[in-house]
A and B are shown apart, each in its own frame.
Chain A
Amino acid sequence: GNSVTQMEGPVTLSEEAFLTINCTYTATGYPSLFWYVQYPGEGLQLLLKATKADDKGSNKGFEATYRKETTSFHLEKGSVQVSDSAVYFCALLYGGATNKLIFGTGTLLAVQP
C-alpha cells in the first residue's frame, strides 16, 4: 500500500544551522508530494509541494525535490530560525479518484537561539 516514512525526531539545531528532514515514500504510480508544518496548538499549514518527478517545491527558504529514483522528498533549509520550531509532516496524495493525503508520523524540530 501507499505509505510515507519520515526520520524520527526530535531534531534539535542551533539557529542558522542547516536542516535536513528525510522523507521517503512507497506508492504505485506517481503521487504528488507535500510538506506541511504544524505549530503548537494549530492546524496544518502547507509549506511546499511537488507534483511530478524532478520538481522542486520551495517556500520561506525551505526546499524539497521530488526524486522518483530514490522515492524521496527530503526537506532542507540553509539557515533555520527559532521561529521554524514546529512539527513537519511529509505527505503524499495519490492520483485517481482517491483524494486522501497519506501522512508520515511527523518530525519535531526544535531550534535553539
Chain B
Amino acid sequence: DTGVSQNPRHKITKRGQNVTFRCDPISEHNRLYWYRQTLGQGPEFLTYFQNEAQLEKSRLLSDRFSAERPKGSFSTLEIQRTEQGDSAMYLCASSPGRTYGTDTQYFGPGTRLTVL
C-alpha cells in the first residue's frame, strides 16, 4: 500500500494562469476528497467523489475550480484564472468507501500553491 500521492508537491504561478493538480488515491479506495488548507487553519472540504461521480461540492469551490475523476481512479483539480487568494495547500484524501459515517480518510502530502 503506497499511500495517497499528489503531484506536483509545489506550484508557483502568476495570477491569471491556470493550474492543474493530480491525486492518486490508495488502490481499491472508492472515495476521493479534496480539501484546502490555509496557513494556521484546519483543512476545509472542497469536494468528494464516489468512484467517478462527484457527489458533493462545497460553496468554497467557485466556478473557476473544477475536479474530475474520469475512471474512478486518479483525480485532477484545475483552477482557472488563479487569484492570490487561491494560495494554499491543496490536500487529497481517499477512503475505502464501504461505510458511511465511520469511513477513515487517508491524506496525501499535499500540493502547495503560491500565486504571485
Residues of A at under 8 Å CB distance from B?
Answer: 4, 30-32, 34, 36, 42-46, 49, 51, 89, 91, 93-106
Q: Mark B1-23, 1 if CB is under 8 A from A, else 0.
A: 00010100000000000000000
Residues of B at under 8 Å CB distance from A?
Answer: 4, 6, 31, 33, 35, 40-45, 48, 55-56, 58, 91, 93, 95, 100-110
A57 to chain B, nearest CB (A): 11
A33 to chain B, nearest CB (A): 10
Question: Is B101 within 8 A of A32, CB to CB?
Answer: yes
Q: Tally of A-B residue pairs with Cβ under 8 A?
A: 75
**What residues on B are CB-neighbors of A4 within 8 Å?**
42
**What residues on A are CB-neighbors of B108 within 8 Å?**
43
**What residues on B are CB-neighbors of A45 within 8 Å?**
107
Q: If A43-B107, A43-B108, A97-B55 touch, does A91 touch B48 (CB 8 Å cutoff)? A: no
Question: Is A44 within 8 A of B91, CB to CB?
Answer: yes
